Structure 1
Amino acid sequence: MKILIVKLSSLGDVVHAMAAVQDIVRERPGVQIDWVVERGFAPLVRRCKGVHRVIACDLRQWRKTLFSAATRRAWALFKAELQQERYDAVLDLQGLTKSALVSWLVHLAPQGKRYGMANQTEGSSFEAPARWVADVAITLPAHSHAVTRARMLCAKALRYELPFEMHFGLLAHTDQAPAAIKNIAFKRGLRGMVALVHGTSRADKEWPLACWRELAQRLNEAGFGVALPHGSPAEEQVAQAIAHDLEHAQVWPRLALDGLTDALATCTGVIGVDSGLSHIAVALALPHVQIYNFETAWRTGPLPPALPEAPVFQTAVFAQPCPSVDAVWQAWQAVLNA
């Protein structure tokens, strides 16, 4: 059986969909799973256990130069790669016009079908073409976590019971992380490094610089080093400002997404805002505190353990206008103890 996952973006959404892939691998042994994704996220999807082929596209870029010769050539190459196989099931986990277009272009095997969402869920985008293109439109609970939504759609489409256990299958190679990153805690005699994920694509999700500096100081005093990843010049400036005058702080060099995954995996834990890197931390099963200025952690934050008595080593902290340093610190102590 050949299955195509259509989940194009964004970083956090792509990570959330990985758990559904692990369910399919477990419940339908021997299937071939391919995945269509925006090129920028392709290196991460190649780290997802069970994915056979990654088909990269540049829809975000192509929309800006729709009628250029270069875009037409790139689109033709993408379409040719997409149509190399005939699929028994196409699973549109995005629910948008762009993912519907990709699903529509796919060649189906005899008796093959396209599956998609029949409805919008709370806090998530949904566009009507996704339902029109689907041969089978699946109704999902309106109040659904992003991870659970993808898992439920795949389970209903492929007719298996949703597994009790959940894994993301994101593979990290800590031995491939830069030596300066993976050995710094050992060289300085620290308890470990804690990555502070301060960067986000939305300004209203940010945590104040003063809070980051105070948290970093507390971590140093508790024997932890602070690691500061960044993905833009503006984020690098914030990282430098957090690290200023701290004894044990390291501003990481700019890393590609797969290298950043390897580097995060060397850390003792991660504290971050609602962003793609924080969701990678969740997928890597690292001790993690996720900071929310909005009451949306139920939809995208770390899920509670399946068993009520299980230790909680990943959690979210919410307050408005933003959580206090004390609240985040207490949450970090709790997940560390767990």
Structure 2
Amino acid sequence: MNESAKRLLVIGPSWVGDMVMAQSLFITLKQRNPEAMLGVVAPAWSQPILARMPEVDEVLPLGVGHGEFGIKTRRELAGKLKGRYDRAIVLPRSWKAALVPFLARIPERVGFLGEQRYGLLKERRKLDKQVLDQTVKRFVSLGLSEDEASTGQFAIPRPRLMIDRDNLVNLRIAHQLSSRPAIGLMPGAEYGPAKQWPLAYFHQLAERLVSDGYEVRIFGGPKDQDDGDVIAQGLLHTHNLCGKTGLADAVDLLADCGQVVTNDSGLMHVAAAVGTRVHAVYGSSSPAYTPPLTANAQIHYLALECSPCFQRECPLGHMNCLNKLDVEGVYAAIRSTPRPLKLNAQ
């Protein structure tokens, strides 16, 4: 990377988990250019999570829906950025993702080849999926020189989100949370049902944990509210928080949990980034490709002959990769982990 580029702009991804993993790139950039100004162009929903990343100096919301072209909006943002940045790193591989830095006439623009972006990027890198075999590696590599990135042998800083303890206190009061040790459950997965452990298994697990003296907190977005109700049905000390908390609130509440059980989802990466013990359940996806970026995790994955298929729905119709991953194994893993004595936060 050009060391003289002191005003750095990153075109961020569109998913929660990817945005958390992008912090590894932000940390890398700041470690190598401590005095650099770092801005991130990102969907408006991501502002609360970017605000928890001390490396980010400026968030530039892009008011365009997922998959939407929004040329007028992109032109307007580009106009505000002209002359303000020296180098842009484009993380998404889509054509439209490279438009803003091109229209803003940022001198250096780097990204991977994809969707005919030859005129939009100044530095177009070929993606070697064998060398850069994880999403986070691909992100970090774009902050390095091409020679260094091509080896695949470089440090991957782990994401670490800041915690707002005052907000946590208010949340515990607002949602009438108890003093019991808390365990979080995240039943959602935006990608599709082939990544979702059965709700009945989550319910059985919650029932056993409550009997053991834990408080169970169910996290997710508005779309997960009904699933949360299924898990919490008939259980005391179980709180369905799906759709009732903002993204920043989820950061703080997850940091307050001793452990979480989660599908391969955006909230999995949030939990990892606040230091909480993560029990990650994998079905159609692979823990080798998008692992929780923490040493404090246990992977629950059967590695069947048909997996990972990376499909949204099971192409064979049986969902054995998740249906055969029983509650007992996950429960035993939780019980074998000592209860934390204090908040899992920095």
Q: Which runs of 5+ in 1 are unaligned?
A: 119-126, 306-311
In 2, the alpha carbon distance for the partners of 1:302 and 1:181 equals 30
Given that 2:9 and 2:40 are in contact with CA atoms closer than 8 Å, whether structure 1 keeps it comes out as yes
Is the partner of 2:321 in helix, strand or coil? coil
User: 1:263: which partner in 2?
Assistant: 253
Q: How does 1:231-242 map to 2 (within 5 A)?
A: 231-232=221-222, 234-242=223-231
* 1:288 aligned onto 2:278: yes
User: 1:248: which partner in 2?
Assistant: 237
In 1, the alpha carbon distance for the partners of 2:177 and 2:27 equals 33
Q: How does 1:201-220 map to 2 (within 5 A)?
A: 201=190, 202-220=192-210
Q: Deviations over 1:141-193 (max 9, x none)?
A: 4131111221122122697997646231422213202133687342xxx2x11
User: 2:289: which partner in 1?
Assistant: 299
User: 1:55: which partner in 2?
Assistant: 60
Q: How does 1:1-338 map to 2 (within 5 A)?
A: 1-60=6-65, 63=68, 72=72, 74-75=73-74, 77-83=76-82, 85=84, 87-108=85-106, 112-118=107-113, 127-130=114-117, 132-143=119-130, 144-156=133-145, 164=155, 166-177=157-168, 178-180=171-173, 184-186=177-179, 190=180, 192-201=181-190, 202-232=192-222, 234-252=223-241, 254-303=244-293, 312-319=295-302, 320-322=320-322, 323-333=325-335
Q: Which has the higher helix share?
A: 1
Percent of residue pairs bearing the same amino acid type: 22
In 1, the alpha carbon distance for the partners of 2:205 and 2:118 equals 46
Single out whichever of 9-18 and 201-210 deviates more from structure 2.
201-210
In 2, the alpha carbon distance for the partners of 1:32 and 1:24 equals 10
In 2, the alpha carbon distance for the partners of 1:8 and 1:164 equals 21
Is the partner of 1:196 in helix, strand or coil? strand
Q: Which runs of 5+ in 2 are unaligned?
A: 1-5, 303-319, 341-346
In 2, the alpha carbon distance for the partners of 1:95 and 1:334 equals 42
In 1, the alpha carbon distance for the partners of 2:275 and 2:40 equals 23
Label 1:132 to 1:223 Cα distance change in 2 as closer, same or farther (>3 A).
farther
Q: Which has the higher strand share?
A: 1
In 1, the alpha carbon distance for the partners of 2:118 and 2:333 equals 41
In 1, the alpha carbon distance for the partners of 2:125 and 2:274 equals 30
Is the partner of 1:218 in helix, strand or coil? helix
In 1, the alpha carbon distance for the partners of 2:178 and 2:144 equals 42
RMSD: 2.8
Which letter maps to 1:223?
G
Given that 2:17 and 2:270 are in contact with CA atoms closer than 8 Å, whether structure 1 keeps it comes out as yes
Which letter maps to 2:78?
K
Given that 1:22 and 1:169 are in contact with CA atoms closer than 8 Å, whether structure 2 keeps it comes out as no
In 2, the alpha carbon distance for the partners of 1:4 and 1:230 equals 30
Q: Figure out how many residues of one structure are paired with residues of the other and give that number.
A: 308
Label 1:184 to 1:164 Cα distance change in 2 as closer, same or farther (>3 A).
same
Label 1:181 to 1:225 Cα distance change in 2 as closer, same or farther (>3 A).
farther
Label 1:40 to 1:263 Cα distance change in 2 as closer, same or farther (>3 A).
same
Which letter maps to 2:116?
P
Q: Deviations over 1:245-301 (max 9, x none)?
A: 222211226112112212222211221111111111112121101111124121112
TM-score if structure 2 supplies the norm length?
A: 0.80
Given that 1:138 and 1:156 are in contact with CA atoms closer than 8 Å, whether structure 2 keeps it comes out as no
Post-superposition offset of 1:77:
3.8
